[in-house]
Amino acid sequence: MNQESGQVTSVECFKCNDCENVTLSPKKLCPKCGSKAVEKTTSEGKGKVVNFATVFFPPDNYKGREPYTSVLIQLSNGCKLFGVIEGEVKDINLGSPVKVSKYDENTGGFIFELV
């Protein structure tokens, strides 16, 4: 991940050079095709909403921020990752365009923003 003035400018992921599958977590073998040709890549952090769940009973590191919405997004390179949108988001839909906005130093998680 890279940041500029508190804004995330890119997200580090791992891409299979054979089948182009991309994951956020590092792998020795591509989980899709078994290739060893997995390398670091970056994404500009733009994608769409795949699924989301609003949390009313938060863990300790999110106390006081409830309700918030934990969102699963798919970046334009295919990588899927979770992040948070504050509040019980009413105008969110599957497929809504979204971007990785900030890295939360307190929780170690990403903050997303609907675009």
Shortest distance in whole angstroms from residue 88 CB to other proteins: 8
Strand, coil or helix: 40: strand
How far apart are the C-alpha atoms of 59 and 46, rounded to whole Å? Answer: 27
Tell me: does residue 19 bind other proteins (CB under 8 A). Answer: no
How far apart are the C-alpha atoms of 5 and 7, rounded to whole Å? Answer: 6
Given 4, 39, 60, 91, the residue binding other proteins (CB under 8 A): 60
> Which parts of this chain interact with other proteins (CB under 8 A)?
23-25, 31, 51-62, 68, 70, 72, 80-84, 94, 104, 107-110
